[in-house]
Amino acid sequence: MAVLLTISETINGAAYSDALAGGGTGVDFGSCVNGQYAPVISQGANTGHQDLFIRHDATVDPITAMKTYVQQYGTGTGFTYGGANSAASDFTKLLNMGNADAMGAGVANNSDGLGNGLHIDMDYDVTTGNQFLGSRVGTLVRIYGDNGGSASGDGRNLATAFTMKADAMTKESAGSETAPSGAADGILGKSGDAVYGDRCHPRFRFYMRTDEVDGGLLQFEAVIAYSYTA
């Protein structure tokens, strides 16, 4: 029997169902302006990000080989593209933006105007000041379209996908999060698993450089890939 994921905004919430341009549903990051990021609360305080809580319905074994990558909008969902250009050009744009990211090592809030593209932070309890910090790129922070100075890929397809880190794994406890005792890269346990954890909790931001000239809607698919046995 197939193992299914639920991806929600809160630890026990329903699956994301934001209305998207073109008629699909998913996650809407909102508006992003040059030299900032989305979603943003206070740029100066480095607050604002998009939480994803991932859980699955397996009843025996954990899922393994859990990875994340991006692909062209409509490829997996079949949704009709509703952006400003085309699904193919948006995908190319997203990867090029990530590759052009030059955020300084001490900058997380894009105050230098050099942050660009889609970033993921795979530490569920990272502090506000350290979330998305440029010096963490290549380890717990990754940028889709950029290999982060490592040989582990740039997240443009399954072959170059980012392995979900152990630091993103958490255990749900009465609606709160606790650290699992034996979290491991790429492994997410069944409900109630206190060793591997039963939630994966990465956070996301979309950055835009100060000198970015293209505007309008941009759409893409973020993929969670995994293996299962039961």
* Residues in a beta bridge with 173: 176
Residue with tokens 């399954």: 158
Average pLDDT of the chain, as a whole number: 95
How confident is the model over 152-181, as pLDDT tens digits?
689 999 999 999 999 999 999 999 999 999
Q: Which residues of 73-110 are buried (b: 16+ CB within 10 A; e: fewer)?
A: bbeeeebebebeeebeebbebbbebbbbbebeeebbbb
Find the domain containing 94 and state its range: 1-230
| pLDDT above 80 for 150 | no
How confident is the model over 182-198, as pLDDT tens digits?
999 999 999 999 999 99
DSSP state of 19: E
Phi and psi at 213, nearest 5°, equal -110, -20
Residue 88 CA to chain centroid, in angstroms? 20
| pLDDT above 80 for 148 | no
Number of domains in the chain: 1
Strands annotated E in 110-152: 117-121, 141-143
d(CA 181, CA 9) in angstroms, rounded, equals: 24
Residue 73 CA to chain centroid, in angstroms? 15
Q: Which helix (H) or strand (E) holds 91?
A: helix 87-99
What pLDDT, on a 0 to 100 scale, did the predictor assign at position 230? Answer: 64
125, 76 in Cβ contact below 8 A? Answer: no
Judge residue 15's burial from the number of C-beta atoms within 10 Å of its C-beta, 0-12 exposed, 13-18 middle, 19 or more buried.
exposed
What pLDDT, on a 0 to 100 scale, did the predictor assign at position 31? Answer: 96
The mean per-residue pLDDT over the stretch 211-216 comes to 88
Q: Which token pair is 104?
A: 């300084």
- Model confidence, pTM: 0.96
- Looking at the chain, the whole-number percentage of residues with pLDDT higher than 90 is 90
Residue ranges of the alpha helices (H) in the chain? 87-99
